[in-house]
Amino acid sequence: MEEKKGKNLVLWIVSAVSLLLSVVLLFVVLCGGDEDKDVRKTNPKTVAKNKTLSSGGLKVAYINTDSVLAKYQMARDMEESLRAYQKSLENELQSKASKLQSDYENYMKNGSNLTLTQQKQTEQDLTQRQQNLPAQQQQMLANLQERQMADNKKLLDAIYAFIRDYNSKHQNFDIILSKSYMASPVLYIDEGMDITDEIIEGLNKEYKEYKKDN
């Protein structure tokens, strides 16, 4: 009965951490992958030269951030890296849980060969390791969230820096808006103001050069 209880607890902990880590990663994926469906609905076409607002000649452009996240290679690499990191965390916890289960079964089988002092020490060790698993689960989840936040900041910093540099060297727009399928203050804007493709092309070119040097 005790053996079955210990085995069920270990399996429950491993399943729980896998689910939690997947939820966190899913949030990242939803922010960068599936939302590109808004872009795919529109047939590619040559966009007219960027227009200006008639009032005061204010130069305005917009960038579809869904497309940037879906097509910017740096974002793709970060997503793949985060998935690999998640997998390593899951494997690490699985390894600890499997080792605990193996040691527990070995003790149940051979514990009678140990002295009473050794039995007590072994039981204390097994109990402590079992109690530590939930805390290790929480720490792994926190590590994944921390990695996600750091990646997001690095990605956004790279995009914002490139846009500022692009704008100063090329168009000198007064305003560059962000357009997104899921969340955007822009309900409608003329496609002639879309500079998304230019930005994606420039970002990927810059990132390719960055990877060469690193």
Encode pLDDT of 58-75 as tens digits.
Answer: 888 899 999 999 999 999
Return the residue matching tokens 């039981």.
Answer: 123
Per-residue model confidence as pLDDT tens digits over 124-162: 999 999 999 999 999 999 999 999 999 999 999 999 999
- Tell me how far apart the alpha carbons of residues 3 and 147 are, in angstroms, rounded to a whole number: 37
- pTM, 2 dp: 0.69
- Tell me how far apart the alpha carbons of residues 93 and 89 are, in angstroms, rounded to a whole number: 6
Specify whether the CB–CB gap between 53 and 78 falls below 8 A: no
Identify the DSSP state of 168.
Answer: I
Among 69, 85, 53, residue whose Cα is nearest residue 175: 53
Return the residue matching tokens 């949030």.
Answer: 27
The pLDDT value given to residue 35? 39
User: DSSP characters for 46-68?
Assistant: PPPPPPB-TTTT-BEEEEEHHHH
